[in-house]
Amino acid sequence: MRLRHKFLAGLLLSTCLQTGFAMAQQTDAGKDEPVLLDTIVLTANRGERPVSAIPGAVQVIDDLAIQGQLQRSNSATDLLARVVPGFSFSNQTLSGASETFRGRGLLIQVDGVPRNTPLRDVARTLSLIDLNSVERIEVVGGASSIYGAGGTGGVVNFITRKGAEDGAGPRVTVDMRARAFTEDVGGSIAPGLSVTVDQKTGAFDYAFTLSHDRSRETYDGGGRLLPSDPMLGQGGGDFTNSTNATLRLGYDLDAARRLELSFDAVRMDQKPRYFTDYTISPVSPDTDLPYAGKSIAEDSKYLTLRYTDSDFALGKLSVSLSRNDVYKRFAFNIFDPYVNTLVYYSGNPASPTADFNQSELDSTRDLLSVTIDSPLTLFGREAGLSWGIEFGNDRTSQQGINGAAIATPLKNRSESAFAQLTLPVTDKLVLSGGLRYDRFNLTVGDFTRPAAYYSGLVLTPVAVTGGDFSFDEITGNIGFTYDIMANTQVFGGWSQGYSLTDIGSFTRRAGLNSRAEACQAYGTSNPYVAYLYGCTTPGTFALSYADIAPKPQVVDTYEIGLRHDAGNWNGQVSAFYSTSDEGVNFDPVTNRVSQQREEIWGIEAQGLWMVGAATTLDGAIGWREGRYDTDGDGNVDAWIGNNRIGAPLRLTAGISHGFANGWNARGEVVYLGGRDKAVGQVELDSVALVNVSASRQIGPGQFSVAVENLFDTDYMNPTATATRNAETSGWGRTVTVGYRVSF
């Protein structure tokens, strides 16, 4: 195994040193690709740095690329899946389940403030970000702890709009679109409307965006109606109303000092019509079984106050105080002998699902962050040091709709300090390195796990005792960039990131996470448990997590790559290898969470060639694979599940052309490679999809039309299928017509 990894690393390194393949800045409205070079980014170092000083893969998705996505849909998930090779294919639902970055977690930020819920990792954040309010997106690949927990695979930062140019009146932008599935236009037509008003007048500026998106029926390429909850409790993509209101206020105290206040409210409501039948392939709506639970819902609010001073005595100062107030309600689901084998028990074995088998999450997060970007002179060279401190306070609870806790209540207080140095050693060589220290004070509360029904077995309630824990973590990074010629740069390095252990997920399954837990909780008091696990002592019907000693999952990433920019073509390619001794995996076959040593490796590349003044060719490739240790002997001996690595290979090839009559057109082919490696999991098939779009200035605004899955291909969505190990179809052909105007 080690020899094979060394050979693979050598092969990827050789590829990096021979290939320059990436996307570049748009030159006309027909192109909607990321900017890679010659731009300033904030996310990688918590201070302004050129891409040429970042020792890792970086993308900046600009406003034109965002507008190109809005011609298709208001989906940040779909945008990242289209243009970021390390991001997985979208599962085409509200949820982010199984959507990974380099096979790991993605830290999601808005204006530098994290939106993840680290104490209970529930995946429904990215799909609810309103692209109409976003000016640009910065994506940094690889493990990163510089912003704290969550960035084990990478970081994405959505930077929202500010006021328009000074002296002008209010600028109003209206974006209207409607999307429909060609299988049933009348039943599926889904409107979207967004209005943005922004202005800068003197020292004051503001930007306000109000957006509403609606979805109705959804269909696959075979003409079949798709289910409302294909991934069991996660929610789907139909019969949804989503509203976002974003306000950003700014006031320039003087030429150097600025005060900003931003507020974002997100409301979503999905009303499924039917439960899902998981006994057939692909999973489908059970039209004989109307949905009986409350709607799937979101009611979250985000508030940030920020002060900046570019003339601070120690450099550039940024102080932010933020509060995230998150409420999520998930789908009601019922017992299924193949997929949903564990439900809360009603007391009736003929209908075992309790009426409170639907959960709600409440999470609040307060964060004070102070960052200083200090200019330094080291060894006669102008360097930069970004450093600062953070104080956080998180509170998270999950309960059934009857109000009873179904997972332990969690509280965490954290103190952190960080520093990141950028040092130009020569005119060609730049070194970068940093450290972050975190101190956690975690309280795991007591609760009683309700009675459960597990594959025909009745499990009585279990009393769970928590505890108080204090622990710390130090993570670091070091890397380099080197200009091997005027337009070509090699980069590489090592970086660490971490995620907090999802204790809520463990405690929700209290008594079922391991043989030891089952024997302690039930033992010989439950003959079936005793037979299944070989228990020899009576159960206590109680568990103590006082010794759970949760420590962050730390990921080490090693990366090397090449960037090139030479006029009519430019590119970026990188190879990575990441490892963790405590990788977190959910097995949809056994419905259990476990932690083991794991290794993931891959290669990413993207490129653009300007064939002429009006025509551009572009392409991207993302490939990744991974293995983990199943028996704790330190050797990785099995392939990581499909819910971490769905389609391991993704290829995209596109062409954009601007016609003399004013039309701009684009066509692209997306190839998703299949996978048949994870033991006991559904084999994922390969598929090729074709998308086309066109736009033209008509009157005062821009008219657009986009067709996705042009040939109405009937295929399996690899990401959605992997979540519950149940074959789930991808979307059939959709047509979106839109009009955008500013005045």
Q: Going by C-beta distance under 8 Å and a sequence separation of 6 or more, which residues neighbour residue 196?
A: 132, 133, 161, 172, 173, 175, 207, 208, 209, 210
Query: What's the pLDDT at 593?
Result: 55
pLDDT category at 590 given cuts 50, 70, 90 is low
The C-alpha atoms of residue 466 and residue 141 are separated, in whole angstroms, by 36
Distance CA 53, CA 401 (A): 50
Q: What is the mean pLDDT of residues 441-467?
A: 91
Helices 63-70, 76-83: axis angle to 10 degrees equals 120
Percent of the residues in the chain that have a pLDDT greater than 90, as a whole number: 77
Give the span between the Cα atoms of 440 and 118, in whole angstroms.
Answer: 12
Residue closest to 218 by CA, chosen among 734, 627, 739: 734
Pairing of the two strands 154-160 and 106-110? parallel
Quick one: pLDDT band at residue 38, thresholds 50, 70, 90? low
C-alpha to C-alpha distances, 406 to 77, 256, 402, 449, nearest whole angstrom: 29, 50, 10, 6
CA 732, distance to chain mean position in Å, is: 24
pLDDT exceeds 90 at position 215: yes
Among 3, 85, 91, 72, residue whose Cα is nearest residue 32: 72
Strand partners, 554: 498
- In the chain, the N- to C-terminal Cα span, in Å, equals 61
Chain segment 162-196, per-residue pLDDT in tens: 987 777 789 999 999 999 999 999 999 999 999 99
Helix, strand, coil percentages in the chain from 3-state DSSP, rounded to 5: 10, 50, 40
Contacts of 435 (CB under 8 A, 6+ apart): 418, 419, 474, 475, 476
Section 284-288 average pLDDT = 96
The dihedral built from the CA positions of residue 162, 163, 165 and 166, taken in this order, carries a sign that is negative
Confidence of residue 33 (pLDDT cuts 50, 70, 90): low
Q: Which residues contact 114 (CB under 8 A, 6 or more apart)?
A: 107, 108, 147, 148, 150, 365, 367
Residue 339 pLDDT: 81
Residue with tokens 């084990």: 152
- Judged against a pLDDT cut of 90, whether residue 338 lies above it is answered with no
Non-local (6+) Cβ contacts of 18 within 8 A are: none
Do 685 and 646 meet the contact criterion of CB atoms below 8 Å apart? no
86-133 pLDDT, tens digit each: 999 999 999 999 999 999 999 999 999 999 998 888 878 999 999 999
Residue of 508, 519, 505, 524 whose CA lies nearest to 450 = 508
Helix (H) or strand (E) holding 269: strand 257-270
Does the pLDDT of residue 604 top 60, yes or no? yes
Strand partners, 626: 600
Question: Given this model, what pLDDT does residue 586 score?
Answer: 55
Strand intervals (E) in 612-700: 615-628, 638-639, 649-658, 664-672, 687-698
pLDDT of residue 638: 93
Ordered by start, the domain boundaries in the chain are 2-501+550-742
What's the rounded Cα separation, in Å, for the pair 196 and 208?
6
pLDDT of residue 119: 87
Question: Are 22 and 85 within 8 A, CB to CB?
Answer: no
Mean pLDDT of the region 403-420: 95
Q: How many Cβ atoms from other residues are within 10 Å of residue 293's Cβ?
A: 20
Binning pLDDT at 50, 70 and 90, where does residue 454 land?
confident
Q: What is the pLDDT of residue 122?
A: 81
Average the pLDDT over 393-402 and give the result.
96
Report CA-CA distances (Å) from 685 to 117, 338, 619, 721. Answer: 33, 21, 22, 11
Q: What tens digit of pLDDT does each residue of 464-506 get? A: 998 898 989 999 999 999 999 988 999 999 999 998 877 787 7
Lowest-confidence pick of 117-131, 276-290, 307-321, 363-377: 117-131
Count Cα neighbours of 689 within 13 Å in the Cβ-side half-sphere: 25
Two tokens, residue 436:
């972050």
Give residue 23's pLDDT band: very low, low, confident or very high (50, 70, 90): very low
Beta-bridge partners for 584: 595
Res 12 pLDDT > 50? no
Q: Residue range 348-375: average pLDDT?
A: 96
Whole-number Å distance between alpha carbons of 151 and 501: 13
Report the percent of the chain where pLDDT is more than 70. 93
Write down the residue that tokens 């000693």 correspond to. 549
In this prediction, residues 145-163 reach a mean pLDDT of: 93
pLDDT tops 80 at residue 27: no
The 3-class SS string of 515-579 reads HHHHHHHCECCCHHHHHHHCCCCECCCEEECCCCCCCCEEEEEEEEEEEEECCCEEEEEEEEEEE
Rounded-to-integer distance, Cα 620 and Cα 214, Å: 31
Q: Contact 343/357 with Cβ under 8 angstroms?
A: yes
Cβ neighbours of residue 706 closer than 8 Å, sequence gap 6 or more:
71, 72, 691, 692, 693, 694, 735, 736, 738
Q: In what order do the strands lie in the sheet with 447-449?
A: 447-449, 462-465, 542-544
Pick from 153, 78, 167, 220: nearest CA to 713: 220
Element counts in the chain: helices (H) and strands (E): 8, 38
pTM of structure: 0.92
Q: Where does the pLDDT of residue 263 fall: very low under 50, low under 70, confident under 90, or very high at 90 and above?
A: very high
- Whether 43 has a pLDDT exceeding 90, the answer reads no
More confident residue, 340 or 315: 315
Of 72-76, 422-426, 564-568, 664-668, the poorest mean pLDDT is in 564-568
Q: What does the buried/exposed string (b/e) look like for 256-282 if buried means 16 or more CB atoms within 10 Å of the residue's CB?
A: eebebebebbbbbbbebebbbbbeeeb
Q: Which two tokens stand for residue 600?
A: 């993931």
The residue-averaged pLDDT of 356-378 equals 96
pLDDT score at 587: 55
CB 443 within 8 A of CB 468: yes
Which pLDDT value is given to residue 4? Answer: 41
Preceding amide of 282 cis, omega within 30: yes
Q: What is the pLDDT of residue 592?
A: 52
Structural element, H or E, at residue 309 = strand 296-312
Q: Is 643 helix (H, G, I), strand (E, B) or coil?
A: coil
DSSP secondary structure letter of residue 690: E
Distances (CA, A) of 542 to 259, 393, 536, 549: 52, 29, 17, 18
| Phi, psi dihedrals of residue 41, rounded to the nearest 5° | -120, 150
Class at the top of the CATH hierarchy for domain 2-501+550-742: mainly beta
